[in-house]
Structure 1
Amino acid sequence: MMISNKIIRLDNFEDYLEIATNAAKYRIILLNDDIVRIRCTFDEEFKDEASYALVMTAWEDKMDELLKNERTRVKAISTKYEDLGNYIVLATKNINVNIYKEPFGIEITDKQGNVLHSDLKEKAYVKDTLGRLYHYSCLEDEDYFYGFGEKAGYLNKKRRRMRMHNVDTIGYDSECTDPLYKHIPFYIKLNSKNNLASGIFYNNSYDSTFDMGCERSGYWNKYSYFCADGGELDTFFINGPQIKDVVKNYTDLTGKTAMPTKYSLGYMGSTMYYTELEEDSDKAILQFIDRCKEEGIPCDGFFMSSGYTTGEDGKRYVFNWNHDRFKNPGEFVSKLKEKGAALAPNIKPGMLISHPLYKEFDEAGAYIKDEKEENSQTDRYWGGQASFVDFTNPKGRELWKKHLKESLVSLGITSIWNDNNEYEINNTEAVCHFEGMKKEVSGLRPIMPNLMALMAKETVEEVYPNTRPYITNRAGFAGIQRYAQTWAGDNNTSWKSLKFNIPVILGLGLSGVANQGCDIGGFFGPVPEPELFVRWVQNGIFQPRFSIHSCNNDNTVTEPWMCPSYTKYIRNAIQLRYKLVPYYYSLLFEAATEGAPVMRPLIYEFPQDKKLLEESFDFMIGNSILVANVLEKGAKTRKVYLPEGATWFDWYTKQAYQGGQTIEVEVTLGSIPMFFRSGAIVPICEELMNIHKDSMDKLNILIETSQESSFVLYEDDGTTNNYKNGEYLKTTISINNEAGIKVVFDKEGNYKTTVNEMLVNAFCKDIAPMQVRLENKKLKMFLDKKEWEASEEGWYYDMEQKTAKIKYKNIEENYVLYIDSDVKDLISI
């Protein structure tokens, strides 16, 4: 066993500090004022830099050419240090890095002296006799831990031991199963004593384990540790001070969420059932789209399961069309488009040895090799033995893109569903090309799904250069958000899955993956009972990825109308989702630029409220809407804790509640408990039924006027890359209460909006407006609601909703809406 205990030598190279200890070497790099890299190797020398995960570096890297369109090179901060005897200090504007000489250890503090991270000295960095690497950190009773990518159970992961490893976990228990599909070795620590947040990312793609205080020894202070099976301890400390700051800084490092197509926010139909029919699967899918329209259920696409690839032997062969089920694939894709629906076909990176294309890939050396590099490695897969495409090999990437173009993308398909890409290869010594450097698969397994997503993105862009790809991935590593939307795999059909999939999604959002969801209604198991299905849809409409998908084991198919007496609840929920599309699209723009999750834990928005430290099931959508879904069978009431720091209003009745209290509301089967906060700004489109075909002619904006705030409404064409050239419209809507109520609309960009009519619903709970002005123009007040509805411009005060409804033609330039709430003295007049 090797343990770093004592500094032997310090060498300052100005943009990094090199430290030699009795056991390991270290490089300390101050990447910016909030990110510190601590690279540790127990080898004689550091290996060449070669990271697929990072998009911000301050050094040359072997992947610079591959990632040239994504990666930014920055200049590191000087590592000039101050020697204080027992330790030396490196400083940025925001943090100090204290490096202790003996016993060796690193401590990071803010400028007020608050300890943000502290190594467990005397065993901080360890390599055991099996080659495993350990990093031990001090832990306090007041520490709470969030993130860790896709993990089952409650949001706070304190006293949990979790494994990082991609697995095909069909039918998993969303409270207990570990690991799942994603491998993201990143977490956020929030100390409730000083209310400071920080994060740690381990840029290591070997299988690993996090122990967050589960282990305990009386000989040491309380600690947590990270253990990796190989590689280096390449640690990035990420400063806050708030959770949202940590997420922003982490996504600066590993990439922001890809700006999605707008239609991806629609309902995406799916089921394995249709593609397993003996024939005419194409007709079944087209009829599904027609049935949605008949039922008044909006739908914008279909995730097509892999049955479309089934060969004569009943096995699935990627890139192969079954022509009994799909007689004319190109015509089928075109008909779907005509109906306003995109097709996202399922593809898999494992190719059975009986695959018609197997020999072509094998002879090209495009598969992962066995440990002797003599043959393509095979392993268990769906349908038998298979080899796996090596996406770290240019030959593998080239062949994959060739067949992806020929079989799918050339047909007009620009949405790709990457599935079963966990790369469960049991021979850990199987060899990957690794851009010519050769490396065992055990160190690259979670990288493969990221590169698979990148290849789908590049393929679509090469065939249709100005079309925005829509890629969905099941597995992934840190940085997967740059390429793909994800979902939480093959969940089990149960009330528990409905409930615990929420913190799974919330934790993934805190780990940089803002665009994700789960299979609504449950994938594996029997058809959901009607009440469970309704509640699941009512929750699913708030997930960025909203798809009802099933592989029911009782010969049934989960469809929105499968229980006719409950269809109205399904319809109402999905229509609510479509009303919120302008809000969601703006939030995904925020994710693409700031890294912020769409579904947010309450503690993310209200870090001062200690009652939220353990909250796992209620969540925010953006910073304005709190959702408290009904998650229990037969519920008649729902208790909701409303966070301190805001006044809260029932979405439907507008009843006001002070934050910091628990309320109990009555619920029916149609209830979706929602609350908006003081200062809320929420854009809504009432008439949207198909994102592909319907333009947003009228825009409603809910504004709660009692608190100053702002929100960026984002618009573009939703499908092309023209937004990269300035064809977007960012409207910053601000509430200013300095002298009356001013709603400011400040616009940026060249996109010509489709919005012709604006309706501002200004919630004024204490006093009705006396007058409303649009710039210098006084708008007419209507006492009669019908007269107001018939007018093109003016305002009306809804007494029951306490809302001033203000209508006017949209204005292209910047403008201000004035809402004058001075009390009119009728008596003295």
Structure 2
Amino acid sequence: MKRLKALVITAFALLSTASYADNDTNGKQMKIKANDKDICVAFFSPDIVRVTKTPEGSTAKGKKSEVVTMVPKDDFNVDIQSGTSSIRMKSKDLVVTVDRRTGLVSFASTSGKQLLKEKDINFEMRNEGSDKGRYVVTHSYLLDKDEAIYGLGTVQDGKLNRRGLTKTIEQSNLEDFQNVIQSVKGWGIYWDNYSRAHFEDNAQAMTFRAEVGDQADYYFMYGKTADGVNRCMRQLSGDVPMFPLWTYGFWQCRERYKSQQELLEVVDKYRKLQVPLDGIIQDWQYWGSNYTWNAMDFIAESFPNGKQMIDSVHKQNAHIMISIWASFGPQTQQYAKLKEKGLLYDFETWPQSGLSHIWPPRMDYPSGVKVYDAFSPVARQIYWDHLKRLFDYGIDAWWMDSTDPDFFNATKENYEQKGAMGSWRSVRNLFPLATVKGIYEKQRKASEEKRVFIMTRSAFAGQQHYGSGLWSGDVASTWDMLRKQVPAGLNYTMTGCPNFNTDIGGFFCGSYNTRGTGSAPLNKQYQELYVRWMQYGLFCPVFRSHGADAPREIYQFGKKGEPVYDAIEKTIRLRYRLIPYLYSTAWQVTSAGESYLRALHYDFASDRRTWDMADEFMFGRSILATPVLHAQYTEEKIFKEDAMSGWEKKELKDEKIKELKCDFTSGKTVTKYLPKGADWFDFNTEKRYRGGRDVTVATRLDLTTMFVKAGSILPLAPVMQYATEKKWDNLDIVVYPGSDASFTLYEDEGDNYNYERGAYTTIVMKWNDRKRTLTVESRKGQFPGMLQGRKFNVRVAGTEAVKTIDYNGTSVSVTM
């Protein structure tokens, strides 16, 4: 035994080789050779372990991860026991066992619960092309027969549980991948590879197969819960910075505002109608023709003074986001500089033709647009140097489109193209992280006064750290696609990335234009779909209406006093009522590793029915979102549309169909499941229900179906025209009894990064259910301009009596 310990000590002395020097954990790792492979297992923390495997004798050197930013901790112990058949490593949370003969690794909790086992690993040498000498890496794991798994990315298949999934992992318009899987058993893995890959789960194994790799490299995380796995992933790859307060209001957009005047008229009309609005988005072609694609300046004739337009938006107390791309037209300044330095990829991307007014694209007039090499620091600097012009004009946020990027002629030769980090094939999926990270870092260096807010069409693991949120691409305007957004957003969240949103109403609605171009908002079939999509969008971190084929502003759907208009306005107003809850939840996302969109097993894993529930979720800790996802007043319009076919303008005839006779004011019912383990209050009626069963509740077109968990405290703001119009000096506090409750109200300056230096306040509210007493504890922290005094109007759900608390920052209680 002494000899074995001596051998282990000798092995540890050799661990700081070049391959692992960056990850030296001061003895909390082991390195062996087994089954013709060099294997290293390293504890980064008691619940995070890195495993690398390389073919024995390979000259490939381990590279610094482009995703993992974590420095291994040193404030914990690992007990290592070396036997003749295996090596056992144990922290306070995790037991890792390595088979000396096979080199296979297994993971268990310290209580003996088996978590995950490797099944097989295979390296196939690539013998030709740009990646010659590297490997195709195949890695398989064994799962329990009934084990539910989640994550991977925004697969648009309508399923929550990833068991049985076979998928090519390659970023695209509609689907994005993060290489993160987590289990209902409380473990997760991040598979650190950036190439085009394949995922398959079947009865034999769960397998990743990367087309290019130097080694097998993954991180095992034992978070114990879904929240815990997300925390581990963010610990590995970076936390989530706060978005500005105004980002949580309502955003209006269309494809596209064709002039400066058109955009300003929309903001002006919202203000005159007194419909709340915080953001307006300018989509593409403000730069003119496709040959000047993404010039990052207002050079189109219809945008004569971009800075003046931005100033006008700000004077209306709104903010503006603008479309920017990962590609440039041949007549732009950026293109010339990038081409000179060899920093452009030579494959077809969007737009393919230089003639923007013709579809399908006229390929005899190629656009010449090229994607830039976002992996190059020089290219990223050129990108920002030109983007800063828009930033200096006063643009508030970036809509980074085609960050996948669009890649149309996906030939073998084009996958072979080389950039700053190697072949396109080898870094294909990392592109969105590289380009988003570049903007985040440059803007933060330029100014700390405005928080970075990026909306991007694609994402890779770790992207949560760079001020960005994903939207789900150019989705079709169908009920089926609406239903698919729910599990897509939940699975994206379970990769550690919390910020997800979708085009409210779907991007392509042309099949509803039955009364001429742009008439979809007058088609009852589309009206019902749009309202229900908006009621789902209410629960997304970014609440944004957008799409092609027809404008989506509220007044396109009718006028005040009409059922569709009123339903839309009511949903927008409810969003603003919820902003104190939402912004406080944002702080929990930033400070405590939590999530906005919570699959039901986050909080109710003991209820097996929640494991694959793809149509409900928790919105923060208290609200059960149960959106209506099927047509109730009209018939579902069935059509198939993808990201390219949707651009084909169809000649549609006026359809005299049943939908013209529907009555949107009539009452309907909907059946929803209430998770076991809590009682629930219908938000609209405040009727209390026992959990663990289906309930049928009344609804209408203008009602957002949702429940609040018993044992919750919900702060509600007065309705505002924009998120910062009114200070939170007169909040309604609704207590949902049934058990003790706690809520932390978070406030800061609303923008800038002073909160990172402690400039914020928290007010903890606690409900004692037995005593029916609410205690508002003393305020902690401070920031410039904070409220010194305020009123809290307290009410218990299901009752009408209100008691008002005058609060000056010191603890106060009220008994209801």
In the superposition, the TM-score normalised over structure 2's length comes to 0.84
Q: Give the structure 1 partner of residue 712 of structure 2.
A: 680
Shift of 1:746: 4.1
1:284 has 2:262 as partner: yes
Comparing 751-760 with 97-106, which one deviates more in the overlay? 751-760
Q: Give the structure 2 partner of residue 150 of structure 1.
A: 154
Q: Give the structure 2 partner of residue 390 of structure 1.
A: 373
Structure 1 residues 291 and 739, CA gap change in structure 2 (3 angstroms) = closer
Q: Give the structure 2 partner of residue 430 of structure 1.
A: 417
Structure 1 residues 337 and 205, CA gap change in structure 2 (3 angstroms) = same
Shift of 1:76: 8.0
Q: Give the structure 1 partner of residue 206 of structure 2.
A: 224
1:421 has 2:403 as partner: yes
Structure 1 residues 537 and 756, CA gap change in structure 2 (3 angstroms) = farther
1:134 has 2:123 as partner: no
Q: Give the structure 2 partner of residue 568 of structure 1.
A: 566
1:334 has 2:347 as partner: no
Residue 44 (structure 1) aligned to one of 58, 81, 84: 58
What residue identity is the alignment partner of 2:572? Answer: I
Residue 351 (structure 1) aligned to one of 311, 318, 328: 328
Q: Is the 8 A contact 1:10 1:20 kept in 2?
A: no
Q: Is the 8 A contact 2:788 2:808 kept in 1?
A: no
Deviation digits for residues 254-276 of structure 1 (CA, Å, limit 9, x no counterpart) = 2222210111111111111323x
Q: Give the structure 1 partner of residue 792 of structure 2.
A: 759
Structure 2 residue matching 1:729: 3-state secondary structure: strand
Residue 192 (structure 2) aligned to one of 185, 203, 226: 203
Q: Give the structure 2 partner of residue 379 of structure 1.
A: 348
Q: Is the 8 A contact 1:761 1:803 kept in 2?
A: no
Deviation digits for residues 346-382 of structure 1 (CA, Å, limit 9, x no counterpart) = 01111133434422221133334xxxxxxxx343331
1:501-540 pair list within 5 angstroms: 501-526=485-510, 527=520, 529-540=526-537
Comparing 330-339 with 665-674, which one deviates more in the overlay? 665-674
Q: Is the 8 A contact 1:30 1:76 kept in 2?
A: no
1:299 has 2:299 as partner: no
Q: Which runs of 5+ in 1 are unaligned?
A: 1-6, 59-73, 170-179, 191-195, 217-221, 276-280, 369-376, 765-800, 821-829
1:811 has 2:798 as partner: no
CA–CA distance in structure 2, aligned partners of residues 49 and 273 of structure 1: 43
Structure 1 residue matching 2:449: 3-state secondary structure: coil
Residue 37 (structure 2) aligned to one of 17, 24, 27: 24
Deviation digits for residues 412-453 of structure 1 (CA, Å, limit 9, x no counterpart) = 11311111121355412222223xxxx212222332322322
CA–CA distance in structure 1, aligned partners of residues 778 and 11 of structure 2: 51
Structure 1 residues 224 and 600, CA gap change in structure 2 (3 angstroms) = same
CA–CA distance in structure 1, aligned partners of residues 334 and 60 of structure 2: 40
What residue identity is the alignment partner of 2:181? Answer: Y
Q: Give the structure 2 partner of residue 56 of structure 1.
A: 70
Structure 1 residues 611 and 357, CA gap change in structure 2 (3 angstroms) = closer
CA–CA distance in structure 2, aligned partners of residues 804 and 230 of structure 1: 65
Q: Is the 8 A contact 1:473 1:485 kept in 2?
A: yes
Structure 1 residues 760 and 605, CA gap change in structure 2 (3 angstroms) = farther
Q: Give the structure 1 partner of residue 46 of structure 2.
A: 33
Shift of 1:692: 4.1
Q: Give the structure 2 partner of residue 372 of structure 1.
A: none
Structure 1 residue matching 2:186: 3-state secondary structure: strand
Residue 692 (structure 2) aligned to one of 639, 660, 668: 660
CA–CA distance in structure 2, aligned partners of residues 736 and 687 of structure 1: 29
Q: Is the 8 A contact 1:492 1:524 kept in 2?
A: yes
1:732 has 2:728 as partner: no
What residue identity is the alignment partner of 1:446? Answer: N
Q: Give the structure 1 partner of residue 232 of structure 2.
A: 249
Q: Give the structure 1 partner of residue 465 of structure 2.
A: 482
Q: Give the structure 1 partner of residue 256 of structure 2.
A: 273
CA–CA distance in structure 2, aligned partners of residues 269 and 10 of structure 1: 64
Deviation digits for residues 65-118 of structure 1 (CA, Å, limit 9, x no counterpart) = xxxxxxxxx338666521233222100001111111223311111112110011
Q: Is the 8 A contact 1:535 1:631 kept in 2?
A: yes
Structure 1 residues 396 and 356, CA gap change in structure 2 (3 angstroms) = closer
In the superposition, the TM-score normalised over structure 1's length comes to 0.83
Q: Is the 8 A contact 1:318 1:348 kept in 2?
A: no
Q: Is the 8 A contact 2:291 2:331 kept in 1?
A: no
CA–CA distance in structure 1, aligned partners of residues 249 and 737 of structure 2: 30
Residue 172 (structure 2) aligned to one of 158, 167, 174: 167
Structure 1 residues 761 and 573, CA gap change in structure 2 (3 angstroms) = same
Q: Is the 8 A contact 1:146 1:510 kept in 2?
A: yes
Q: Give the structure 1 partner of residue 611 of structure 2.
A: 613
Q: Is the 8 A contact 1:495 1:631 kept in 2?
A: yes
Higher helix share: 2
Deviation digits for residues 522-543 of structure 1 (CA, Å, limit 9, x no counterpart) = 1123236111111111111111
Q: Give the structure 2 partner of residue 794 of structure 1.
A: none
Q: Give the structure 1 partner of residue 483 of structure 2.
A: 499
Q: Is the 8 A contact 2:507 2:546 kept in 1?
A: yes
Deviation digits for residues 714-762 of structure 1 (CA, Å, limit 9, x no counterpart) = 1111112221222101122222357663424243211253484333434
CA–CA distance in structure 2, aligned partners of residues 665 and 119 of structure 1: 47
Residue 576 (structure 2) aligned to one of 566, 578, 597: 578
Structure 2 residue matching 1:57: 3-state secondary structure: coil
CA–CA distance in structure 1, aligned partners of residues 296 and 451 of structure 2: 22
Q: Give the structure 1 partner of residue 703 of structure 2.
A: 671
Q: Is the 8 A contact 1:514 1:597 kept in 2?
A: yes
Q: Is the 8 A contact 1:705 1:762 kept in 2?
A: no
Shift of 1:455: 2.6
Shift of 1:708: 1.7
Residue 446 (structure 1) aligned to one of 407, 424, 429: 429
Shift of 1:16: 2.2
What residue identity is the alignment partner of 1:474? Answer: R
1:78-97 pair list within 5 angstroms: 81-97=80-96
Q: Is the 8 A contact 2:191 2:219 kept in 1?
A: yes
What residue identity is the alignment partner of 1:271? Answer: R
Q: Is the 8 A contact 1:410 1:463 kept in 2?
A: no
Structure 2 residue matching 1:81: 3-state secondary structure: strand
CA–CA distance in structure 2, aligned partners of residues 249 and 320 of structure 1: 41
Comparing 315-324 with 234-243, which one deviates more in the overlay? 315-324
Residue 451 (structure 2) aligned to one of 458, 468, 471: 468
CA–CA distance in structure 2, aligned partners of residues 423 and 670 of structure 1: 38
Deviation digits for residues 756-782 of structure 1 (CA, Å, limit 9, x no counterpart) = 433343426xxxxxxxxxxxxxxxxxx
Shift of 1:482: 1.0
Deviation digits for residues 392-411 of structure 1 (CA, Å, limit 9, x no counterpart) = 222112211110112x0110
Residue 184 (structure 1) aligned to one of 178, 185, 202: 178
Deviation digits for residues 138-189 of structure 1 (CA, Å, limit 9, x no counterpart) = 12222001111222221111111122211134xxxxxxxxxx1x22000111
Q: Is the 8 A contact 2:199 2:208 kept in 1?
A: yes
Q: Is the 8 A contact 1:144 1:158 kept in 2?
A: yes
CA–CA distance in structure 1, aligned partners of residues 87 and 444 of structure 2: 50
CA–CA distance in structure 2, aligned partners of residues 83 and 558 of structure 1: 66
CA–CA distance in structure 1, aligned partners of residues 265 and 251 of structure 2: 14
Structure 2 residue matching 1:605: 3-state secondary structure: helix
Comparing 334-343 with 244-253, which one deviates more in the overlay? 244-253
Q: Give the structure 2 partner of residue 798 of structure 1.
A: none
Shift of 1:550: 0.7
Q: Give the structure 1 partner of residue 22 of structure 2.
A: none
Q: Is the 8 A contact 1:697 1:756 kept in 2?
A: yes
Q: Is the 8 A contact 2:349 2:405 kept in 1?
A: no
1:125 has 2:121 as partner: yes
